[in-house]
Amino acid sequence: MSKPTCSVAECERKHASKGFCDKHYRRWKKAGDPTVTLRTPRGACSIEGCDQAHNARGYCPAHYQAWLRANGGRVSEAEKCSVDKCLKDRTHAEFCRGHNYRFKKYGDPEYAPETPEAKVCTGCTKELSLDKFPKRKGRGGMGVMSRCRDCSRAANLARMQADREAWNSYSRKWAAENRDKRSVQEGRRRAKLRGALAESVSRLEIFERDGWICQMCFQPVDKDLKYPHPMSATWDHIVPLARGGSHTRDNLRLAHWHENQAKGAKVA
């Protein structure tokens, strides 16, 4: 089910309030017109003889950095953090951003709070161990999502059943735009269904390793040919999964699609 968009013409952002997106809603709330451009004129730097526009506290960026250095704030020079073995640049008087945060909060820049072993799921409200939650990459916190695996799976199933056509359309679009990621998921899924060893390996990695040479006929494979062209690139399990093979780099090779289909479940 698609979410409503902003009512302003040619704006495709998601609706936030009063029929507007967040940007146009703030403009409407402040000026009464969602299409008006709000610009605050900047004055000049307060330092005599400097004609640059002020950035903060009445100073231009250069003089503001000088003021910060004089008052123990951030520095613009690429000096290293004063914490031993920290290779990050300073963003404050003595520390990098992370160590300065710990120093302000705990009084010790090297303090590392213990990571809890359990967490309360926001879906079922049960306290579960962290291995029961899906991992969350590139974000802070405990490194896991807010809902456990069962609740996340149930929520995804409910969304799919609510609008199956939209879900299928999104899945097909994502698979077409992320074919390499899709191949990683599908390869591991097929191997796990047969209880075989599975590595997180991508098609492109295997193709580049084999130099875009078919390992069955040893003829070049055209990168521009796409499935279902018989000469397009595909990966082949040397020992098929049906015969006890594994989904690992040592058991994968590049092959033409028609040769992979002709081989079938034979060991070659």
SS3 readout for 163-196:
CHHHHHHHHHHHHHHCHHHHHHHHHHHHHHHCCC
Domain residue ranges in the chain: 1-39, 115-177, 179-263
Please state whether beta strands 118-120 and 127-129 pair in parallel, antiparallel, or not at all (unpaired). antiparallel
Predicted pLDDT of residue 212: 93
According to the model, what pLDDT value does residue 113 have?
Answer: 77
Would you say residue 140 has pLDDT above 60? no
Tell me whether residue 34 is exposed, middle or buried, using C-beta atoms within 10 angstroms of its C-beta: 0 to 12, 13 to 18, 19 or more.
buried
pLDDT given for residue 254 in this prediction:
92
In this prediction, residue 124 carries a pLDDT of: 92
Give residue-wise pLDDT tens across range 196-207. Answer: 888 888 888 899
pLDDT tens, position by position, 89-130: 877 778 888 888 888 888 888 888 777 889 899 999 999 998
Short-list 261, 254, 247, CA closest to 217: 254
Return the pLDDT at 268: 67
| pLDDT greater at residue 48 or residue 210 | 210
Helices (H) then strands (E): counts for the chain? 8, 4
Alpha helix locations (H) across the chain?
22-31, 61-70, 97-106, 149-162, 164-177, 179-193, 203-209, 257-263
State the CATH class of domain 179-263. Answer: mainly alpha
- Model-level pTM? 0.46
CA distances from 167 to 14, 45, 152, 157, 206 (A): 18, 54, 16, 10, 31
Residue type, 255: A
Average pLDDT across the chain, whole number: 84
How many C-beta atoms lie closer than 10 Å to residue 37's C-beta?
A: 7
> Greater confidence, 3 or 106?
106
